[in-house]
Structure 1
């Protein structure tokens, strides 16, 4: 198998543009709305449990998050949550869906620099319509040789994508802010996994850092990516 690095893939949310901070702002608003019914820490525990439980039903993204907030509100109020609060939660979710995209530093520059010498792919998970909206608003879509919006990022998913868009996992690199989805899973598939910390990470995406794996790398930000790639070739 050709092990020369030929394909570079990027995560989207919190790697190329801001995402998690809008979830956290909405969670704070959710806590305010339900303050008379539950302490914030307990409420956040219940919400996280609902989100984990509902991933298999709704997948990842704002719509599933909104439904999980509504479900949690119903549970903690023992079915007494006012319709006005439900309406405010729906409005909050719709505001998130309409929020303009804000690119992270060096996002465009990193993609442009590696696209001169490698195939470049976007691999993101979540709601199809919302991810397509964000990509269109980002202005980055034309820079990618391939775009994959998936329901989950597993080693098998990565193998399939890199067999299709590249020369297989061994010749591919995944760059992202989620240790679980963007680093550990690609490494398990046989890829390079490059961690670019964002600072805000959904608890579901936490995983142990594979420090001893020879295919793991970590960067301070995307401005360091081109230099890293040069050291591997």
Structure 2
């Protein structure tokens, strides 16, 4: 039971997010109206994605220091799940933008940065699949993963805040993209932060399942 508690917590938090996120009374802010409920899905997915690729980065560094196959698998699967969550975050963002900004794609700096960042991570998997030597693949992929992460962070967290943007926190736009301080209404905060934890735990769960599957496949292949 001890090893499953966080998985149960993930399910409970996401159920709470879906139910409370659709039923609670939300504040009227600008032209967001009821679409503001997407905040409980779109933004937490990106928070979860950031945490997952950070875990992937840590395992890539660990692999370069001590090339254990398990570290390579962990780095790969956390990056994979993080990329999927990023795609979902981009899609939910486009749906939201269609209602609030008039079109799903507005060439907003944050939209462009997110798309470029996801393409960089897509190249990570293409690079991995282009090599058959396991040790070389692990080392090259680890180096690239570190490179990808430190390009990704400025793309979605730094550059959009330095230029004009439709997103909160952009130049000339009020609000904190990290939702600290008074940027998030108290009634929404009680759903938003549990949603962040729930999506992150779900991503971790999926990643660890994929790690177990890949480990079993490798054992079967090399036995």
- TM tier, smaller: 0.3 to 0.5
TM-score by length of 1: 0.31
Q: Which has the higher contact order (CA 8 A, sep 6+)?
A: 2
TM-score scaled by structure 2?
A: 0.32
